Homo-oligomer: A and B are copies of this chain.
């Protein structure tokens, strides 16, 4: 089914312990749509400046992304500059230049307004709400957000949350949003704010899915070659939403598969700088790693007599 993402398309400058890259393709909509496109067509709504290399849009289009919703505006493209420590969980933003993104007022092309699946990338929650207003009959809506919006626009965020089916947050965001240090209790509270399901992302530790079906833990594949964690969360959401949109299902099995596929896409994304690894990724590789993810967590039932008698009850 039809899927649209609204988010950023950016030029990133990155420094990790394993190298650096200047002005490479980045942004939530880029990662999301490239990953979602493995499952079916996806429409991207974003804005770039007149300095944005045409080759990047051609790349997205070549992957099956409909880029007609990526507006080109006079001015410079959104730029983000970041540095990661040896512990790649620790990121420092060195510079953010919103440029044309500062005036981003998502205007969905007519062709996008009938989208059934909608992903609201991490932008101002008021804009997320305005995007939803433009979608005629959204069937399943996912939302990403960040600490900045939780702090500065909590009211707007709560209003948008009421309208979505699914939220994707990391552990710190879950705790902050719910004002509750226990991630389990925080997740319960967030499910009370509107979404039917919630993914709590835990970086190299995987992700937790909270839904009507209970809790599901997706272990991250242990990787030895992580180069650049940028875009992991959006790649996760892209795999997750792309799979749901393809199957049209929202049952527990589908949500669990989507969570694992999200982890798999994220695991590939971080093995290259920018979207480099995703450029050569194949469907067969996604299937391979999905199978590995099953093998990774498989264990048999406990046999009778595994425990002693002395303390049995």
Q: Which residues of A contact B (CB under 8 A)?
A: 17, 37-41, 63-64, 86-87, 181-185, 202, 205-206, 208, 214-220, 222-224, 226, 243, 246-247, 253, 256-257, 259-261, 281-284, 286-287, 290-291, 294-303, 306-308, 310-313
Are B222 and A215 closer than 8 Å at their CB atoms?
yes
With a CB–CB cut-off of 8 A, which chain B residues contact A307? Answer: 38-39, 246, 283, 286-287
Are A283 and B257 closer than 8 Å at their CB atoms?
no
Are B312 and A282 closer than 8 Å at their CB atoms?
yes
- Which B residue sits closest to A223, measured CB to CB? B184
**How long is the Cα–Cα vector from A307 to B37 in the complex, in angstroms?**
9
With a CB–CB cut-off of 8 A, which chain B residues contact A294? Answer: 299, 301
Would you call the interface of chain A mostly helix, strand, loop, or mixed?
Answer: loop
- Which B residue sits closest to A17, measured CB to CB? B181
With a CB–CB cut-off of 8 A, which chain B residues contact A39? Answer: 306-308
- Which B residue sits closest to A243, measured CB to CB? B306
- B64, B185, B286, B310: the one contacting A310 at CB < 8 Å is B64
- Which B residue sits closest to A39, measured CB to CB? B308
**How long is the Cα–Cα vector from A243 to B302 in the complex, in angstroms?**
10
Are A297 and B38 closer than 8 Å at their CB atoms?
no
With a CB–CB cut-off of 8 A, which chain B residues contact A185? Answer: 224
Are B299 and A313 closer than 8 Å at their CB atoms?
no
Are A282 and B224 closer than 8 Å at their CB atoms?
no
Q: How far is the CB of A246 from chain B (nearest CB, A)?
A: 7
**How long is the Cα–Cα vector from A40 to B296 in the complex, in angstroms?**
29
Q: How far is the CB of A181 from chain B (nearest CB, A)?
A: 5
30 contacting pairs across A/B (C-beta < 8 A): A17-B181, A37-B311, A39-B307, A39-B308, A64-B308, A87-B181, A182-B224, A183-B222, A184-B223, A185-B224, A206-B217, A214-B295, A215-B222, A216-B299, A217-B219, A218-B297, A218-B299, A253-B299, A253-B300, A256-B298, A256-B300, A257-B299, A257-B302, A282-B311, A282-B312, A284-B312, A287-B302, A287-B307, A291-B302, A294-B299
**How long is the Cα–Cα vector from A64 to B310 in the complex, in angstroms?**
7
Are A283 and B312 closer than 8 Å at their CB atoms?
yes
Q: How far is the CB of A35 from chain B (nearest CB, A)?
A: 11
Are A224 and B283 closer than 8 Å at their CB atoms?
no
With a CB–CB cut-off of 8 A, which chain B residues contact A257? Answer: 299-300, 302, 306
**How long is the Cα–Cα vector from A296 to B283 in the complex, in angstroms?**
27
A222-B183, A311-B64 given; A246·B282 CB < 8 A:
no
Among A87, A183, A284, A299, chain B packs the most CB atoms within 10 A around the CB of A299
With a CB–CB cut-off of 8 A, which chain B residues contact A220? Answer: 217
With a CB–CB cut-off of 8 A, which chain B residues contact A219? Answer: 206, 217, 219, 297
With a CB–CB cut-off of 8 A, which chain B residues contact A260? Answer: 299
With a CB–CB cut-off of 8 A, which chain B residues contact A312? Answer: 282-284
